[in-house]
C-alpha cells in the first residue's frame, strides 16, 4: 500500500499541466472558467490538439492511438484538463463509441472510423433514450428492418446531447421485436446524420440552454456494414458502454475548479456588512462540500487503482456507483453554493445574446449564470443512470436481491 | 382558533381559481411571458374586475378592507397558476406602503387607480453592495428647496420595467449601513433622470435595473416611516410570497403525484416503487409544514411588535424556503428528463420557488439573523 | 379563519399553568427537567391529582370523567404539562385502553374499569408487539383458546413498556388461527398481571435503561368477561387505538421545553474560547430545529382544529403522519444538539446509582444524560409506527397505491 | 499509488482477525466489559504475542518499525470486533509521545515494557473548561528544583483508570488559552497526589477523572515538544480512531445487510423493500467515502508540515464523523427494536461510533476550524 503519488506521477502532472498551459487557447479557457460549455469550434480545435499530441484517447489500445499509461496517469491528464479548465475529449467519441468499436467492431470499421472518432473528425451523438423509456432503456421501440444490404430505421430518439453538432449518430434499434426478453433483439448501429429521414429538433432546457434534442428517424436507410457487433446482440454493446469509465462521472477535477473559483468570487461577493466568504455559515457549507470532494477524490483513485482487476473480471466495481451518486450530489451542491453567493442578483437571467450588448451589465456574469447552472445541473442526478438506478444497482450488487 | 375559510373567503378562492383556470393554461402563460410586458394586461383587468386589486385597502380609501388571510388565499392561487402579473409589487407591497406610509390625500389619489388596474408600482431596494440588507443604502436623497434630489442605482426591481411609480429607499443621512437616516420615496417612473433597463429574471418574469440621476421630486414624494415602514412592508410581502410558494409547491406536488400514478417504467407505474412513494410522502410532509408557516405568516403580518413580527417572519422564510427547495428539486427528480424542459410546467415550479426563496433574504440570511436574535422561542 | 388563540383560550392557559405550578411536586418537576422519566410513584401521584381536578382524561366523554373541551383546550393542557415539565397522564390508560373501552366495552366493563384507568388505580401496559413481528403487528402468534368461561393464553409479548410497573395488561391474541386473513381471528383481552403464568423479563436498552420488557404468557387463564369488543374482531379495536390521538406524538410542548433548557445550558456550557451558545454554527443548528418545531406546532393545531371532522369520518388525517414523522425527527435532532453541547464530557456514562454517591461528580448531570438520551430516542422513529410505516401510510392515502 | 495490502500487511490483518474471532465473540466481550478493568488482560497478552504492541516503535527501540498503514489495519480490526483494550491510548498515543517526544533513554526503558504488555499509558488533556481545545490548559506545572510540581484536574482520560503512567498537558507559562507555554509530562499513576476516579463511558468502556494535587515529578518527566508534540500525536490518534470507525461501520453495515436478507416482515425479507435497499446503498456510499478518508489519514499521519497535516486530519474527522453517524443510526433504524437492546451488537456500534466522533473534536469543531483555516483545497 503506497498512498502517495510517486515522483514519476508528480513529474507527469507537471508535464501535462505545462503542455495544457501552452496549448489551450485563451478564449477557450476563459469561456470554460466562466462556467459555460465550450463552443463546437473550441471543442474540435482542442480535441485535434490533444489528438496530435497523442492524448485524446490514452485509454485506448496503442494501435488505435492510445498510450500505455497507468490508470493514475489517465486520471492525472483528465483531472488537469478539468482543473485548468479545458474541454475534455468528447465523451460520445472517446469513452462510448470508441471502446465499443474496439471491443465489438470489425477490422474495417476500426480502421475507417477509430482515427476519425479519436480526432473528432466525426462528431458522434448517442441515440439511446426514447420518449417514454427513461431509465428503462431496454424498452426502446425504434425499429430497424433489414431490406437487402440496408436497415430501414423508423422511430424517435430523445435527450440526444449535442445532436445539432453531430456528424454521425450511434443508436440502439430493435431488430427482432419477437425476442423473448426486451433486452434481446436489439442491435447497435451507426449512421450518418445527413442520411435522408433524420431530423433533429431542439429541446430547450429550463435554464434556456440548447444541449439536447429529439432525433426523428423516418425510413432512414443504414447500410448493414454500419452494424456494430452481432445483430440482435446490441444490448451487449450497450451494457459494455454503460459500465465503462464510470470513474469519469465523479468529475472531481471539475468540481475542484468550481470550488476554487467560488472561493475567489465569494471573497468579493457583496454580503451586506462583509463579503459572502466571511459569513461563517457560508464557509461551513463550502467546507462541508470540500471535505466530501476530498473523500471522493480518494475514492476515485481507489476505483482507478482497482481498474485492471475489474477489467479482467469484466464486471463493474460497485464503488463506481459511489462515484456517480456522490459526484452528482457534490456538483449540485456546488451549484447551490453559487446561487447563495449570488444573492439577489442571482435573479438576473443569463442572456445568451449578452455579448452583443454595449451597455453596462445589470449583474456580474457569474451571478447571472448561478441559477441557470443550478437548474441545468439538476439533470446530473437523472441522466447517465439516475441516482435511483445507481442505488438499485448497488442494492443488487451487495444485497443480492 | 379556526383554520376554516369563511364563506366569503371560499368564494374569493373559488372565483379566482376559476379565472385562472380559464386564463392560465400553460400555453396561455407562455404567450403572456413572451409578450413585451412579460405578463397580461387583460388578465390584470380581470383581477381588477374581481376586486383583487382593491383588496387590502381600507373601505374609506376605496378598497375592500381585506386582511392578510385573503392575501394568502389569493397569492396561493397565483402560485398554483404561476401567474406573472405584478400583484405582489403593486397590491401587496405598493399597497402596504400606501396604507402605512402615505397621507390620506395620496391614498385618495392613488388607491382608486390601483383598484382599477391603472396604476402599477414597484419597490426598488436592492443595491449592488446591499445583498439582502434593507438598511444597506447608498442611494441618496438630498433636500432641494421643498423637494428632494435622488441619486443612485437600484438593481433587480421586480416588475420595475412596467411600473408607473417606483418606491425607492434612499439615504438622507448617516453611513451606508446605518439603520437611521433612511427614507422611502414614491417616484413617478417618467420623472426626468430615471433610467430603466428591463430584463428577464431566472424564472422568466421581469425586473429592471434603475438609475436615478439628479432626480428631482416634490416634498410629498417622501412617505412616512423610513426603514421601519420598509421592514413592515417587507414582512407583509414575505407573507404573500410564502403563500405563493405554497400554491406553487402544492401544484408541483399534485403534478408529481399524478405523474407517479400514470408514468410507467419497467412495466409498472413508477409510483409503485417504494423509494419514490416515500419521497412523495416526504414532499407531502414538507408541503404541510410549509403551509403551516404560511398561516403563521398571515397571522403575524399584522403583529404590531416589530421585533416579534420580524422573528416569526424569518422563521416563515426559513421553513418555507427549505421545504420549497426540496419540493421543487424532487418534482424534477421524480419526473426525470421531462421536467428539465421548458415545454413542461414541472421545472417552472422549481424556478419560481428558487426565485421566491431568494427574495427578501434567502434561508441562510434569515437563519443567521434569527439565531443572532435568540431564535424562535424567546419569550414562550 | 382565525389564526390566533382567543382571549378565552389564553385565559384557560393561564389557569392551567397556575394550577400546575401550584400542584406539581418540586421533586417531580426537577426530575423531569433533568431529562429523566418520572418514577412510578411520581406518575401515580400526579395522575391522581389530575384526576381529582378532572383533568386526567379531558378527551373522554363527560360521563366517564371527561370535559366538554375543544381540541384546542385539550392541546393547551397537554402542552402546558409538557412545558412545565410535568408527567403526562399514562398513555396506555388515558389514550389507548380508555378510548377503546369506551368505544367497544360493555357497560359493566366501563363502570368497573374506566374510573380506575383514568385515576391510574390500575396501571395498564400494552401487549401488542411480539418477537419477530415488528411493524407487521397483525402477524402476531399469541394464542387464546376458549375453555369454558376462560381463555387460556399462551405466547410471548415484547417491547412491553413499563410492564414492571403495571397492574394489568391489554393484549391482542389470536383466537381463530384458521381465519382467511391474518387481521381476522384476533381478539382484544385485558388481564391482571398477577394471573399465574405471566412472567415479566426486563429488556435493557442501549442507554442502560429499563423501560421495556418481555412478557411471557404460559397457560394464563383470562376470564371471558375480560374480552373487549367482539371475539375475533380485536383488530378493529387495535386499528381504532392506533389511529387515535396521533397528535400527541408530535410532543411539541416537550420539545419546546427541551429547547428552552438547552439554551440555558448552552449559555454556560464550556466551548473552549466561549460558551457553546456563542458558536454561530451551534446556534444555527438550534435555530433550524426551532423553526421546524414552530411549523410543527402550527401543523398540530391545524390537525387538532380538524379533529371533529376527522372523528365523524372515522378515518385518520394523513397530516397526522406528518406529526409523527417530523415530531420524531425533531426530538432526535434535539437529542443530538445536547450531545454536541456536552462535548467531551458527554462521554461520561450516566450512572443509575449516581444518587448514592457523595463524591464530586466527574461531569455535570446533563452532560452524562446527553448521549444516553440520544441513544434512547433512536426508538422514537421505530415504535408507534416507524417512520417507514408512516410513509407507507401516507403514500397509500394520497398515491392510492 | 497503490491501495493493495502487501503480503506482510495481509498476514497481519489475517492473524489479528483470527485472534479476534476466537477471543471477541459478543458474549466474551460482555464478560471483559463487566470485569474490573473493563477489558481483558489475557487478550492484551495475546496482542503482545502477536507483536501488535511493538508495532509503531523503531527497531532500534525494540519495536517493529511499522507505519500508519499497519496501524490502520489493526485499528480497523479492533473496530470490527468492538475491542475494549487500551491499544490507542497505550500504543498509538503513548507510542507516538515516546517516539516524538522522549529521549533515547526513556524509549529504551519504556518501549520494551509496552511491547511486552506490561506498561499501559493514558493521555490526560481534557479539562472542564477546555472542550476540544488542546491549547486550553489550566493545569499547571511549576519548576521545583530540578523537577516540577503539577497541579490541576483532567477529565475523561480514556483508560486512565488502568494506566500505569499518565501523559499530561500542563501549563508552565502564559494565559489559559495561549498556544505557548504548554508542556507534556509523563507521570507514574502511583505518584503521590495523583487521585483517579474511574467510570464507564457511554459506550461501556472506561475512563477516569484525575486530579493532580501537588504532584512532584523529576526533570525527565517532561517530554520534548510541548503543544506541537501533542498536536502531532493527536493527529496520529485521529488516524487510528478513524480506522477503528471504519471497522465498526463495516461490521455494522454487514450486520444490517445480513439482517435485511434474513428478517421477514409482511411475508418477505425486509431487504426486498426498495426504501431499505436504497438506504443500504447509501450506507455503502458512506462507508466507502469514510474508508477513503481513513486511507488519507494513514497517508497524512507522517506529514511533516503541521498546518497541512492538521487541515487534512480535520477533513478526515468531519467526513468519517458524518458518515459514521449515518451508518450507526441507520443500523438501529433498519433493524428496528432489536438493535435498541443491550443484548444485540447492533446498537453497540452506534454507541462506539458516537464516542469516536466525540473524541479529539466533533464534526462541528473541526468544520469551524477548517473553514476558518481556508478549507481543504487551499494550495491545490
What DSSP string runs through B223-263? PS-HHHHHHHHHHHHHHHHHHHHHHHHHHHHHHHHHHHHH-
* Partners of chain B (3+ Cβ pairs below 8 A): A, C, D
Write the DSSP string, D258-272.
HHHHH-EETTEEGGG
Q: Is residue A133 part of a domain?
A: yes
Residue B73 burial (CB count, 10 A): 22
Q: Do B275 and B231 lie in a common domain? A: yes
Q: Is the pLDDT at A371 greater than 50, yes or no?
A: yes
> Scanning the structure block, which residue is given the C-alpha cell 488542546?
D134
D165-171 vs D121-124, strand pairing mode: parallel
What mean pLDDT do residues D348-361 have? 98
Q: Is residue A170 part of a domain?
A: yes
Distance from CA of A363 to the nearest CA of C (A): 30
Among the listed residues A393, A377, A386, the one whose alpha carbon sits nearest the alpha carbon of residue A134: A386
pLDDT score recorded for residue C356: 41
Chain C residue at shortest CA distance from A281:
C281
Chain C residue at shortest CA distance from A284:
C281
Q: Is the pLDDT at C348 greater than 70, yes or no?
A: yes
B 254-273: CB under 8 A from D: 273
Q: Is residue D377 part of a domain?
A: no
Chain B residue at shortest CA distance from C302:
B3
Instruction: Choose one of D210, D226, D242: the last residue of a domain.
Output: D226
The tally of domains found in chain B comes to: 3
Q: Do B75 and B143 lie in a common domain? A: no
Q: For testing the chain C interface, which of A279, A280, A283, A340 should be mutated: the one with the most C CBs within 10 Å? A: A280
Which of A140-144, C95-99, C218-222, D263-267 comes out lowest in average pLDDT? D263-267
Q: Is residue D1 part of a domain?
A: no
Q: Is residue C240 part of a domain?
A: no
Among the listed residues C321, C341, C332, C346, the one whose alpha carbon sits nearest the alpha carbon of residue C398: C321
Among the listed residues D349, D316, D357, D95, the one whose alpha carbon sits nearest the alpha carbon of residue D247: D349
Q: How confident is the model at residue A246 (pLDDT cuts 50, 70, 90)?
A: low
Of residues A134 and D313, the one with the higher pLDDT is D313
Q: Is residue A206 part of a domain?
A: yes
Q: Do B155 and A345 touch (CB under 8 A)?
A: yes
Q: Do D377 and A259 touch (CB under 8 A)?
A: yes
The CA distance from D285 to A62, in Å, is 35
Q: Is residue D380 part of a domain?
A: no
Q: Where are the alpha helices (DSSP H) in C306-318?
A: 307-313
D 222-241: CB under 8 A from C: none
User: Which residues of chain D does B278 touch, with a Cβ-Cβ cutoff of 8 Å?
Assistant: 275
Instruction: Choose one of D178, D193, D226: the last residue of a domain.
Output: D226
Domain encompassing residue B368: 227-372
**Which residue is catalytic, options C79, C245, C257, C307?**
C245
User: Which residues of chain A does B343 touch, with a Cβ-Cβ cutoff of 8 Å?
Assistant: 203-204
Q: Do A151 and A213 lie in a common domain? A: yes
Query: Which of A349, A379, A391 has its CB closest to that of B202?
Result: A349
Inter-residue contact B199 to B208 (CB < 8 Å):
yes
Among the listed residues C62, C91, C68, the one whose alpha carbon sits nearest the alpha carbon of residue C78: C91
CATH number at residue D277: 1.20.140.10
- What ipTM score was computed for the predicted complex, to two decimals? 0.95
Of residues C356 and B269, the one with the higher pLDDT is B269
The CA distance from C320 to C302, in Å, is 10
The CA distance from D336 to D229, in Å, is 45
For the stretch C179-193, pLDDT in tens is: 989 899 999 999 999
Q: Do D269 and D328 lie in a common domain? A: yes
Query: Which of A299, A390, A395 has its CB closest to that of D289?
Result: A299
Q: Do B278 and D273 touch (CB under 8 A)?
A: no
The tally of domains found in chain A comes to: 3
In B140-285, DSSP assigns E strands to 140-144, 147-158, 165-171, 182-188, 194-200, 206-217, 264-265, 268-269
pLDDT score recorded for residue A309: 63
Q: Do C308 and C379 lie in a common domain? A: yes
Q: How confident is the model at residue C4 (pLDDT cuts 50, 70, 90)?
A: confident
Q: Do D3 and A6 touch (CB under 8 A)?
A: no
Q: Do A249 and A225 lie in a common domain? A: no
Instruction: Check: pTM over 0.90? Answer yes or no.
Output: yes
Among the listed residues D180, D301, D296, the one whose alpha carbon sits nearest the alpha carbon of residue D233: D301
What mean pLDDT do residues B139-143 have? 98
Q: Is residue C237 part of a domain?
A: no
Q: Do D377 and A6 touch (CB under 8 A)?
A: no
Phi-psi category of residue C6: left, alpha or beta, with phi > 0 → left and psi -120 to 50 → alpha: beta
CATH number at residue D219: 2.40.110.10
Q: Do A305 and D2 touch (CB under 8 A)?
A: yes
Q: Is residue B1 part of a domain?
A: no
Q: Is the pLDDT at C71 greater than 90, yes or no?
A: no
Q: Is residue C132 part of a domain?
A: yes
For the stretch B47-99, pLDDT in tens is: 999 999 999 999 999 999 999 999 999 999 999 999 999 999 999 999 999 99
Q: Do B342 and A135 touch (CB under 8 A)?
A: no
Among the listed residues D241, D368, D233, the one whose alpha carbon sits nearest the alpha carbon of residue D316: D241
Q: Do D184 and D284 lie in a common domain? A: no
pLDDT score recorded for residue C272: 85
pLDDT score recorded for residue A185: 95
Q: Do B216 and B246 lie in a common domain? A: no
Q: Do C388 and B370 touch (CB under 8 A)?
A: no
Query: Which of C291, C318, C325 has its CB closest to that of B315?
Result: C291
User: Which residues of chain A does C281 touch, with a Cβ-Cβ cutoff of 8 Å?
Assistant: 280-281, 284
Q: Is A284 on the interface with C (CB under 8 A)?
A: yes
Q: Do C135 and C78 lie in a common domain? A: no
Q: Do B133 and B115 lie in a common domain? A: no
User: Which residues of chain B does D277 touch, with a Cβ-Cβ cutoff of 8 Å?
Assistant: 275
Q: Is D278 on the interface with B (CB under 8 A)?
A: yes
Chain A residue at shortest CA distance from C285:
A281
The set of cell numbers assigned to C92 is 396506555
Q: Is residue C118 part of a domain?
A: no
Chain B residue at shortest CA distance from C322:
B285
Q: Is the pLDDT at C284 greater than 60, yes or no?
A: yes
In order of A102, A146, A152, A177, C339, the CA distances from A149 in angstroms are 23, 7, 10, 20, 73
In order of A110, D225, D234, the CA distances from D176 in angstroms are 73, 18, 20
Q: Do D359 and C206 touch (CB under 8 A)?
A: no
Q: Do B358 and A344 touch (CB under 8 A)?
A: yes
Q: For testing the chain C interface, which of B9, B278, B291, B292 should be mutated: the one with the most C CBs within 10 Å? A: B292
Domain encompassing residue A73: 7-89
Name the percent of chain A lying above pLDDT 70: 93
Q: Do C63 and C128 lie in a common domain? A: no
pLDDT score recorded for residue A357: 47
Of residues A227 and A355, the one with the higher pLDDT is A227
Q: Do C1 and B2 touch (CB under 8 A)?
A: yes
Distance from CA of C349 to the nearest CA of D (A): 4
Q: What is the DSSP letter of D201?
A: B
Q: Is the pLDDT at A319 greater than 60, yes or no?
A: yes
For the stretch C122-138, pLDDT in tens is: 999 999 999 977 778 88
Catalytic residues of A: 245
The set of cell numbers assigned to B303 is 403583529
pLDDT score recorded for residue C250: 86
Inter-residue contact B208 to B198 (CB < 8 Å):
yes
pLDDT score recorded for residue D265: 85
What mean pLDDT do residues D326-342 have? 96
Q: Do B93 and B170 lie in a common domain? A: no
Work out the mean pLDDT of chain A and round it to a whole number. Answer: 91
Q: Is residue D251 part of a domain?
A: yes
Q: Do C287 and C385 lie in a common domain? A: yes
Distance from CA of D89 to the nearest CA of A (A): 25
Q: Do C82 and C139 lie in a common domain? A: no
User: Which residues of chain D does C206 touch, with a Cβ-Cβ cutoff of 8 Å?
Assistant: 339-342, 347-348, 350-351
Q: How confident is the model at residue C246 (pLDDT cuts 50, 70, 90)?
A: low
Q: Do C222 and C333 lie in a common domain? A: no
Q: Is the pLDDT at B190 greater than 90, yes or no?
A: yes
Distance from CA of C185 to the nearest CA of A (A): 33
Name the percent of chain B lying above pLDDT 90: 97
User: Which residues of chain D does C156 touch, with a Cβ-Cβ cutoff of 8 Å?
Assistant: none
Q: For testing the chain C interface, which of D88, D131, D137, D154 should be mutated: the one with the most C CBs within 10 Å? A: D131
For the stretch A171-219, pLDDT in tens is: 999 999 999 898 999 999 999 999 999 999 999 999 999 999 999 999 9
Instruction: Choose one of B97, B119, B141: the last residue of a domain.
Output: B119
User: Which residues of chain C does B293 touch, with a Cβ-Cβ cutoff of 8 Å?
Assistant: 294-295, 298
Q: Do C276 and C384 lie in a common domain? A: yes
Q: Is B282 on the interface with A (CB under 8 A)?
A: no
pLDDT score recorded for residue B266: 82
CATH number at residue B103: 1.10.540.10
Mapped onto helix, strand or coil, the DSSP state of residue D208 is strand
Q: Is residue D134 part of a domain?
A: yes
Q: Do B140 and B104 lie in a common domain? A: no
* Partners of chain A (3+ Cβ pairs below 8 A): B, C, D
Q: Do A256 and A223 lie in a common domain? A: no
Q: Do D220 and D162 lie in a common domain? A: yes
Q: Is B367 on the interface with A (CB under 8 A)?
A: yes
The CA distance from D174 to D181, in Å, is 6
Q: How confident is the model at residue D150 (pLDDT cuts 50, 70, 90)?
A: very high
Work out the mean pLDDT of chain B and round it to a whole number. Answer: 96
Inter-residue contact C138 to C128 (CB < 8 Å):
no
Q: Do A207 and A78 lie in a common domain? A: no
Q: Do A42 and A75 lie in a common domain? A: yes
Q: Is the pLDDT at C55 greater than 50, yes or no?
A: yes
Of residues A352 and C338, the one with the higher pLDDT is C338
Q: Is the pLDDT at C400 greater than 80, yes or no?
A: no
Biggest CA-to-CA distance, chain A: 75
Q: Is A139 on the interface with C (CB under 8 A)?
A: no
Mapped onto helix, strand or coil, the DSSP state of residue D136 is coil
pLDDT score recorded for residue C355: 46
Chain C residue at shortest CA distance from D325:
C336
Adjacent-strand bridge partners of C197: none
Q: Is residue A57 part of a domain?
A: yes
Q: Do B21 and B148 lie in a common domain? A: no
User: Which residues of chain A does D318 touch, with a Cβ-Cβ cutoff of 8 Å?
Assistant: 287-288, 291
CATH number at residue A374: 1.20.140.10
Q: Do A301 and D1 touch (CB under 8 A)?
A: yes
Residue C347 burial (CB count, 10 A): 27
Q: How confident is the model at residue A305 (pLDDT cuts 50, 70, 90)?
A: confident
pLDDT score recorded for residue B379: 54
B 324-353: CB under 8 A from A: 329, 332-333, 336-337, 339-343, 347-348, 350-351
Amino acid at each position: 500500500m503506497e498512498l502517495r503519488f510517486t515522483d514519476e506521477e508528480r513529474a507527469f502532472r507537471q508535464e501535462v499541466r505545462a503542455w495544457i498551459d501552452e496549448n489551450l487557447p485563451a478564449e477557450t479557457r476563459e469561456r470554460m472558467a466562466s462556467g459555460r460549455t465550450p463552443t463546437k469550434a473550441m471543442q474540435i480545435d482542442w480535441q485535434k490538439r490533444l489528438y496530435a499530441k497523442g492524448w485524446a484517447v490514452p485509454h485506448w489500445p496503442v494501435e488505435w492511438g492510445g498510450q500505455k499509461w497507468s490508470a493514475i496517469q489517465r486520471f492525472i491528464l483528465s483531472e488537469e484538463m478539468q482543473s485548468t479548465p479545458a474541454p475534455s475529449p468528447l465523451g460520445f467519441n472517446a469513452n462510448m463509441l470508441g471502446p465499443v468499436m474496439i471491443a465489438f467492431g470489425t477490422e474495417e470499421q476500426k480502421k475507417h472510423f477509430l482515427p476519425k472518432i479519436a480526432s473528432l473528425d466525426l462528431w458522434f451523438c448517442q441515440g439511446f433514450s426514447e420518449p417514454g423509456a427513461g431509465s428503462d432503456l431496454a424498452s426502446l421501440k425504434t425499429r430497424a428492418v433489414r431490406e437487402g444490404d440496408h436497415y430501414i430505421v423508423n422511430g424517435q430518439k430523445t435527450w440526444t446531447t449535442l445532436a445539432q453538432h453531430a456528424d454521425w449518430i450511434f443508436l440502439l434499434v430493435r431488430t427482432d421485436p419477437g425476442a423473448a426478453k426486451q433486452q434481446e433483439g436489439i442491435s447497435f448501429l451507426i449512421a450518418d446524420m445527413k442520411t435522408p429521414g433524420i431530423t433533429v429538433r431542439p429541446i430547450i432546457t429550463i435554464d434556456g440552454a440548447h444541449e439536447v434534442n429529439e432525433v426523428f428517424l423516418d425510413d432512414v436507410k443504414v447500410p448493414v456494414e454500419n452494424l456494430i457487433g452481432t445483430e440482435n446482440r446490441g444490448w451487449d454493446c450497450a451494457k459494455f458502454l454503460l459500465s465503462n469509465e464510470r470513474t469519469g462521472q465523479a468529475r472531481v477535477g471539475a468540481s475542484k475548479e468550481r470550488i476554487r473559483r467560488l472561493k475567489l468570487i465569494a471573497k468579493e461577493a457583496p454580503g451586506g456588512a462583509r463579503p459572502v466568504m466571511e459569513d461563517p455559515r457560508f464557509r461551513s457549507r463550502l467546507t462541508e462540500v470540500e471535505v466530501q470532494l476530498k473523500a471522493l477524490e480518494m475514492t476515485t483513485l481507489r476505483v482507478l487503482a482497482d481498474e485492471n482487476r475489474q477489467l479482467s473480471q469484466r464486471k463493474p466495481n460497485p464503488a463506481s456507483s459511489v462515484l456517480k451518486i456522490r459526484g452528482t450530489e457534490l456538483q449540485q451542491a456546488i451549484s447551490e453554493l453559487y446561487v447563495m453567493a449570488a444573492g439577489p442578483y442571482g435573479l438576473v437571467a443569463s442572456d445568451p445574446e449578452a455579448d452583443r450588448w454595449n451597455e453596462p451589465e445589470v449583474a456580474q456574469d457569474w451571478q447571472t449564470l448561478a441559477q441557470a447552472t443550478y437548474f441545468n445541473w439538476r439533470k446530473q442526478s437523472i441522466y447517465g443512470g439516475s441516482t435511483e438506478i445507481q442505488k438499485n444497482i448497488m442494492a443488487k450488487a451487495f444485497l443480492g436481491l | 382558533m379556526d383554520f376554516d375559510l369563511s364563506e366569503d373567503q371560499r368564494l374569493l378562492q373559488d372565483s379566482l381559481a376559476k379565472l385562472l383556470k380559464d386564463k392560465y393554461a400553460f400555453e396561455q402563460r407562455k404567450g403572456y411571458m413572451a409578450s413585451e410586458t412579460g405578463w397580461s394586461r387583460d388578465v390584470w383587468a380581470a383581477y381588477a374586475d374581481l376586486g383583487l386589486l382593491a383588496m387590502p385597502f381600507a373601505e374609506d380609501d376605496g378598497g375592500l378592507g381585506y386582511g392578510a388571510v385573503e392575501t394568502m388565499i389569493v397569492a396561493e392561487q397565483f402560485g398554483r397558476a404561476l401567474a406573472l402579473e405584478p400583484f405582489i409589487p403593486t397590491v401587496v407591497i405598493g399597497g402596504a406602503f400606501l396604507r402605512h406610509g402615505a397621507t390620506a390625500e395620496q391614498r385618495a389619489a392613488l388607491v382608486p387607480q390601483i383598484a382599477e388596474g391603472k396604476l402599477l408600482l414597484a419597490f426598488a431596494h436592492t443595491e449592488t453592495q446591499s445583498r439582502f440588507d434593507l438598511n444597506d443604502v447608498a442611494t441618496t436623497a438630498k433636500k432641494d428647496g421643498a423637494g428632494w434630489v435622488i441619486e443612485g442605482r437600484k438593481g433587480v426591481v421586480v416588475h420595475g420595467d412596467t411600473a408607473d411609480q417606483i418606491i425607492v429607499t434612499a439615504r438622507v443621512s448617516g453611513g451606508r449601513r446605518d439603520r437611521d437616516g433612511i427614507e422611502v420615496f414614491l417616484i413617478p417612473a417618467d420623472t426626468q433622470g430615471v433610467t430603466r433597463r428591463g430584463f428577464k429574471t431566472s424564472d422568466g418574469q421581469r425586473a429592471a435595473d434603475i438609475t436615478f440621476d439628479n432626480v428631482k421630486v416634490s416634498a410629498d414624494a417622501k412617505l412616512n416611516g423610513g426603514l421601519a415602514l420598509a421592514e413592515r412592508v417587507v414582512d407583509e410581502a414575505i407573507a404573500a410570497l410564502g403563500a405563493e410558494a405554497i400554491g406553487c409547491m402544492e401544484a408541483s406536488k399534485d403534478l408529481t403525484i399524478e405523474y407517479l400514478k400514470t408514468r410507467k417504467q419497467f412495466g409498472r407505474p413508477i409510483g409503485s416503487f417504494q423509494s419514490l412513494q416515500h419521497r412523495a410522502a416526504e414532499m407531502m410532509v414538507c408541503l404541510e409544514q410549509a403551509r403551516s408557516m404560511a398561516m403563521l405568516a398571515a397571522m403575524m403580518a399584522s403583529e404590531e411588535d416589530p421585533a416579534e413580527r420580524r422573528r416569526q417572519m424569518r422563521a416563515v422564510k426559513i421553513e418555507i424556503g427549505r421545504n420549497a427547495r426540496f419540493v421543487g428539486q424532487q418534482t424534477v427528480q421524480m419526473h426525470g428528463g421531462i421536467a428539465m424542459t421548458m415545454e413542461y410546467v414541472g421545472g417552472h415550479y422549481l424556478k419560481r420557488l428558487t426565485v421566491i426563496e431568494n427574495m427578501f433574504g434567502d434561508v441562510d440570511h434569515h437563519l443567521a439573523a434569527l439565531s443572532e436574535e435568540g431564535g424562535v422561542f424567546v419569550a414562550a
